[in-house]
Structure 1
Amino acid sequence: MEDKKNFELLYEGKAKKVYKFDEQKLLIKFKDDVTAFNGLKKDQILNKGKINKKISKFFFEMLNKEGINTHYINDYDENSFVAKWTDLIPLEVIVRNYTAGSFCKRYGVKKGLIFDYPLIEFSLKNDELGDPMITKDAVLLLKVTTEDILDEITSISKKVNDILSDYLKSKGIILVDFKLEFGISKNDNKVTLIDEISPDTCRFWDANTMESLDKDVYREEKGDLLNAYEVLLGRLDI
């Protein structure tokens, strides 16, 4: 395999590096870095990147088989996979099935209340502004994207929630909430699910103990993060 040193580094985020693979594909490398509170808390945890890559690959492959258009193409190495090159839509889509995290702080409600139906929220993907929450009308008035694309993103997000929730329920895991990102594929101009689906971007609770199997272990200093990720990995069909 070609060394990643020979690929052009296009972007480095908190948890991943993105390289140019060719004119239509990217190489996504998962790092061992872990951050919380917009980067105010950060560490390196050996093998975290490998686990997140395995879990993201697994979920993207599952979603591809279910007809969801994702950026995942194929495996590359233990920390990386090849993905479609997309133009980022600068929004984060948050899907919530239970109350947790910032939602509880915003509205003064206790953790763990189940919603009657999934709540879809949006935040503007902008590190300098701290990824502020944004309404649908504000998205459209600021021309972040079009109404048709926003509706498609919302529809895809609900389908992803149904697919992942049903699968995880069979493994004794509750999908509490999660973040999705989208782009427009350079190859076919289609709305495409991108980024990652991992315990860095989702809240997973053990259905019996309600213990976290995600980054809340790190945020809230509730134990060993890598152990929690390994427990999650062991519960999946990987």
Structure 2
Amino acid sequence: MKVFYKGKTKDIYVLENGNYLLKFKDDVTGENGVFDPGANSVGLSIEGSGKAGLRMTRFFFEILKEKGIPTHYIDSSLEETTMTVKPAKLFGKGLEVICRYRAVGSFMRRYGAYAKEGQPLDAYVEFTLKDDQRQDPLITEDALTMLGILSSDEYKTLKNLTKKISDIIKEELAKKDIELYDIKLEFGRVGEDNQIVLIDEISGGNMRAYREGKYIEPLMLEKIILE
């Protein structure tokens, strides 16, 4: 296999048939040894987190498939901690879309003068550029279109898909009495018609979830969801 990209939490390889193979690692993002899904660097390694992330991702991708939501997912192997996906073109050098149901994390760091910790938000969607050097800056629709990263129509599609996908995940977590506070998603273009699909992963590593006001660590979240 040819190495395509070495990432913080996953490595990507190109298969002979043109599809990609994602290898999940036990590294997670954070700072000073504390997990943070919004951090720009690997903060610690948690044994078993790679497999847990893959199990969660497979679980949610299969639910999305049943509901007709387009994704890049093809299949996966828990033994190898790998996932086979369709090749997707990124928006620019990578775009992250966050859906927030409560004010926590970077939202509070930016808007703490106006918001209260844990304040309910109405599925607030924000876009950030994947740029570690500039700490993943927020970007508006106007800037995205002016810089040629995406079109206005694509922006609306991404925003609508983000809300739809996030609501589905929120409902699944609620079945276990878990509340989704926020989630980070990624999208890409697939095929000759540049269909917009969900890419990357859906795991405890890219969401904040709470039960009775207490934060649930990614490994514990996976265990509760899939028990």
The percentage of aligned residue pairs carrying the same residue is 38
1:87 aligned partner: 89
Q: Give 1:103-182 correspondences, 5 Å limit.
A: 103-108=107-112, 109-115=115-121, 117-182=122-187
Answer yes or no: is the 8 Å Cα contact 1:24–1:186 preserved in 2.
Answer: no
**What one-letter code is carried by the residue in structure 1 that aligns with 2:89?**
D
Q: Distance in 2 between matches of 1:173 and 1:52?
A: 17
Match of 2:215 among 190, 212, 217: 212
1:229 aligned partner: 218
Q: Give 1:22-61 correspondences, 5 Å limit.
A: 22-36=16-30, 37-39=39-41, 42-61=43-62
1:221 aligned partner: none
Note the C-alpha offset of 1:142: 1.0
SS of aligned partner of 1:133: coil
Q: Distance in 2 between matches of 1:119 and 1:166?
A: 17
Match of 2:4 among 7, 10, 13: 10
State the 4+ residue runs in structure 1 displaced beyond 6 angstroms: none
1:65 aligned partner: 66
2:105 aligned partner: 101
Q: Distance in 2 between matches of 1:43 and 1:30?
A: 15
Answer yes or no: is the 8 Å Cα contact 1:168–1:174 preserved in 2.
Answer: yes
CA RMSD of aligned residues (A): 1.6
Note the C-alpha offset of 1:189: 2.4
Q: Distance in 2 between matches of 1:81 and 1:204?
A: 24
**What one-letter code is carried by the residue in structure 2 that aligns with 1:200?**
G
Note the C-alpha offset of 1:126: 1.9
TM-score normalized with structure 1 length = 0.85
SS of aligned partner of 1:172: coil
Answer yes or no: is the 8 Å Cα contact 1:72–1:82 preserved in 2.
Answer: yes
Q: Distance in 2 between matches of 1:151 and 1:125?
A: 19
Answer yes or no: is the 8 Å Cα contact 2:49–2:219 preserved in 1.
Answer: no
Note the C-alpha offset of 1:129: 1.9
Render the CA deviation track for 1:146-191: whole Å, top value 9, x for unaligned.
Answer: 1111111111111102211111111111111011111111365210
Provide structure 1 residue ranges, at least 5 long, that are not aligned to the other structure: 1-6, 214-227
Note the C-alpha offset of 1:23: 4.1
Please say if 1:193 is aligned against 2:198: yes
Answer yes or no: is the 8 Å Cα contact 1:176–1:205 preserved in 2.
Answer: yes
Q: Distance in 2 between matches of 1:99 and 1:91?
A: 21
Answer yes or no: is the 8 Å Cα contact 1:24–1:187 preserved in 2.
Answer: no
SS of aligned partner of 2:100: strand
Note the C-alpha offset of 1:56: 0.9
SS of aligned partner of 1:62: helix
